[in-house]
Every structure is written in structure tokens, then in C-alpha cells.
Amino acid sequence: MNKLWIPLTMVLLVLSGLKLNAQHHFCGHDLIMNQMAQQTPGYKEQVLKIFDEAKRRGLASRQSRNQTLYTIDLVIHVVWKDSSENLATSIIQGQVDQLNKDFRRLNADTANLRSMFHPVAGDAMIEFNLVQVNRVQTNEEFSVDFISGALPDNVKETANGGSDPWDTELYLNLWICKIQPITVAGIPLGQLLGYAYPPDGLSNWPAGSSAPSPLYEGVVVDFRGIGPNNPNPIDLGTGPLTVVGRTPVHEIGHYLGLRHVWGDGGGILGGNSCGEDDGVADTPNTAGQSNFDCDTTKNSCVDTTAIDWPDMVENYMDYAAETCMNTFTIGQIDIMRGVLEGPRCKLINNCITTYNTPTAELTSVQIYPNPAKGFTTLEFDNPDFLEYQITIRDVMGKEVLPTINGKAANAQHTVPLNGLANGIYFVEIASKEVTIGRKLVVSQ
Ligand SMILES: [Ca+2]
Ligand SMILES: [Ca+2]
Ligand SMILES: [Ca+2]
Ligand SMILES: [Zn+2]
């Protein structure tokens, strides 16, 4: 992740003349990851756990993929101030059509994918059903606070000049608005084109945490990033960009759990990040993002596989030109479908048969060290994200430590044992489906 996201550092960089490229524009994934990590310790780890779980789940169901088309109901909110932002219905429909091509690999420009990547390109078997377009006129502006990292989530609130979502568990909400340029002390730093919160297991979090509201789940895209045939150009000094509707494709990729192909890291100034990747085996690691170009000569990291692949600039999760992007890989599709079969299962009405189906819920239970002195660690897998409760009792059955509640997929709890007398204790891990007991020996 972007380790250079330190507001004060950013200001100093600007003031010291290392000014960021004012033409740089991007999606808000890094902003979210860093802002949330600052507000809520453990956020990144939680997102990564859910990512790993989705990958495992999607990989397991890869074989049956061709038989199961997932349809997501889509609600679009057009929140406009200037009439140019109130996009014509034909542009909205064109965007929905583009989503349905790109997620089914029916887009004509798949022909441009270089042949070495043909074996990893995939049809996600995901489609979008537009159920409603809400148009809301507003007097508000939608801005990014670069110092605090706050995003323009007021677009998601009718009371704050935006448009309230339809139930975010049942519908994908896409808000279209003008996102104001990012500035610090009047200095323009760039333009946010869109953002989406990753699936982050909010219901799992402790009360009082500053996780974003479930009402904020969904995708926000600047009105100029909707296409094709959008008459409102984005020109940030290098001429108008060609927009064909790939910003929403990219942001829905994040919404369904994907990370950037270069794996973030490397810093906002474009440092090398060959040491960090996106967790997806079939996207070649790269040293950093593309710059809205289509440079097929790039090979920025040496791959550890037998073949040293070039950078996959055709991938939707890079920042290449929109006319250069045309592909999700099979590994990325595993994750997106794993998210739809897990934390976002209600979108596809498929929670009963997959997400909440009783299986061997709590597995691979480990307690270490055991015998323990001072503390011990409990670890187990909970692939169906069931709520669980851990109690620790003495030989008389009396609870000797506070109960632990959780819902994490890959549970890990370090338990302080201070004050416990030497002896044998019983650890009980219970979900609504299963109870597992283990013996714990305390030897202080
Ligand atoms: Ca990288
Ligand atoms: Ca990769
Ligand atoms: Ca390479
Ligand atoms: Zn992004």
C-alpha cells in the first residue's frame, strides 16, 4: 500500500518544489486504504483477510463458473449541479452496456490483447441489470479533503445534497457527480475519477470504530468518466482523454475486491514496487502504474515464473488509457466471484446456498504456545464468516477470562493469561453450527 500517504509529507513535498504532476488523476483506492488504516487499526489486515478468503472461495468454484451467471441489480444516481452533469439517458445506457460487455468479455477490443495473455483472460460471468436511474439536482459540491483523506461521501446522502442509496446489500449503487479537483492551499494536485470501498466485513468491527457506514457501500464516478459518447471532456493539460466507460469497470473491480495490478506501494511519486504485488498470480507484477498510456514495451519487474512477462497494460485494474484496457484475468475473476459468493452474496441472492450453508465452519484450530506462559494465541479458519464465541473455563467449568466474540474468516486472537493459576483449562470455540473444545495448559 501507499506508504507515502502522510498528509504533512505531501504538503512539504509540494512546498519544496517536488510538486506532483497536476495532470495526475486517479481512483481513490489508495486514499481509502490509507485513510481507513489511520482511523481504524487493523483495517488493511482485515481487507487482506477478506481478499484471501474470496480468492480461496472463487478458486474452489472455478470449475462450475461457466454454468452460473451472476446478475447484479444496479441503481444509478445522477447527482447534478450544472446541467452538463445531468448525463443523457443514452450515455447512462451506453455505460451499462459497456459493463455488460467487459464483465462478459464480449468487448470488441479483446482482439487487442497480446497473445501471451490469451490463456489468462477470462469471462467473469457477471452482468448488470439497471433497475433505476435517480436524478437529483443539488447545490452541493463533492470534494476530496486531501489533508484528512475524506472522500465526497455526502453524494450518498440526500440530507447532504446527494442521493440516498437503495439497500446497499441488495443493490450496487453507482453515484455519478462532479468530483471537484484536489487542491492543497489552492495548488491543484489532481483529479479523482472515482472510488469504491472494498468489501471489508463491517459487521465484524467493534462498536465505535470509524469504519464507513454500510450506507456508503457502492461506487462513485466523476460524470466525465461515464461513457462511451460522453460530451464532457476530461482535459488535464495533455488534451482530452478518450473515455469509453472503463472507470466504472475499474471501480466495480475494487468494489468486488480487486486491487491495482501493480499492488500499490512504491509511493505516490511512482517509486519502484516490484516487492509488492496484487496477490493475483496471473497478473504480472509491475513496478508502478501506467500513466493513461498504452506502453506495450514495458517490463518493469522480473517475474519469478519461467517466463518474464511484460507488464499487462491491458488490465482493467491498471491506469492505462481506457482504449488500452480490455481484460480481467481468471485470477481476478476468482476474487470477484468469491466476493459475490461471500461478503456481497446478497447482491446475487445466493446467500442461502453458498455463504451461510453449514459446512465444516471452524477448522484448523491451533493453540500456541501450549503449554502457555503469559499469553497464548488461538487461530482457526471460519470460511463462512459465522459469528463465534470463545470461552475459557477452568476444570470446575467456571469462566476465568472475558468472552471473546468475532466473525473473522481467518480468526486469530492473542489471549493474555496473566493472573491465571497453573493448571488445565478448557477453550471452547462455538458458532451456531459447531462447538470445538481444546485443552489449554497454563504454566506461568
Ligand atoms: Ca508492484
Ligand atoms: Ca500479480
Ligand atoms: Ca515482467
Ligand atoms: Zn483503482
Rounded CA separation 395/401 (Å)? 13
Residue closest to 74 by CA, chosen among 128, 127, 36, 119: 128
Considering only CA atoms, give the Rg of the chain: 23
* Cβ-proximal residues to 314 (8 Å cutoff; 6+ apart), any chain: 112, 113, 114, 117, 320, 324, 325, 326, 327
Distance from Cα 305 to the centre of ligand 3, integer Å: 9
Distance from Cα 38 to the centre of ligand 3, integer Å: 33
Task: Find the ligand nearest to 299 CA.
Answer: 3
Residue closest to 323 by CA, chosen among 102, 1, 130: 102
Residues 404, 435: one domain?
yes
Residue 211 DSSP SS3:
coil
Which three cell numbers, joined as nine digits, stand for 269? 511519486
DSSP string, 257-316: T---TT-S-STTTT---TT---S-TTS---SS---SS--TT---S--SSSS-PPP-TTBT
User: 140 with 81: CB under 8 angstroms?
Assistant: yes
> Can you give the CATH number for the domain in which 434 is found?
2.60.40.3080
> Can you give the CATH number for the domain in which 49 is found?
3.40.390.10
pLDDT in tens, 252-285: 999 999 999 998 876 555 567 888 889 999 999 9
Rounded CA separation 100/33 (Å)? 28
Q: Catalytic site residue 140?
A: no
Rounded CA separation 136/158 (Å)? 9
Does residue 386 belong to any structural domain of this protein?
yes
Residues 333, 409: one domain?
no
Residues 117, 181: one domain?
yes
> Domain containing 424: what range?
363-442
Tally of structural domains, the chain: 2
Residues 371, 336: one domain?
no
| pLDDT at position 22 | 33
CA 60, 61, 65, 69 dihedral sign is: negative
Which of the residues 53, 85, 217, 251 is marked catalytic? 251
Report how far apart, in Å, the C-alpha atoms of 272 and of each of 144, 266, 287 are: 26, 5, 5
Task: Find the ligand nearest to 283 CA.
Answer: 2
Q: Where are the beta strands (DSSP E) in 213-258?
A: 219-222
| pLDDT at position 13 | 31
Does residue 2 belong to any structural domain of this protein?
no
Task: Find the ligand nearest to 279 CA.
Answer: 2
Domain boundary among 304, 326, 353: 353
Residues 314, 387: one domain?
no
Does residue 165 belong to any structural domain of this protein?
yes
Distance from Cα 251 to the centre of ligand 4, integer Å: 6
Mean pLDDT of 240-260: 95
Identity of the residue numbered 126: I
Distance from Cα 17 to the centre of ligand 3, integer Å: 33
| pLDDT at position 306 | 79
Residue position matching grid coordinates 475459557: 392
Report how far apart, in Å, the C-alpha atoms of 375 and of each of 137, 418, 420 are: 57, 7, 10
Residues 326, 212: one domain?
yes
Residues 348, 396: one domain?
no
Residues 140, 272: one domain?
yes
Residues 263, 386: one domain?
no
pLDDT in tens, 55-110: 988 888 888 777 799 999 999 999 999 999 999 999 999 999 999 999 999 999 99
Distance from Cα 281 to the centre of ligand 2, integer Å: 5
Furthest-apart CA atoms within the chain: distance in Å = 76
Q: Identify the H or E element spanning 96.
A: helix 89-102
Distance of CA 302 to the CA centre of its chain: 26
Mean pLDDT of 211-220: 83
pLDDT in tens, 288-314: 888 889 999 999 999 877 789 999 999
Does residue 15 belong to any structural domain of this protein?
yes
Tell me the average pLDDT of the chain: 83
Residues β-bridged to residue 182: 190
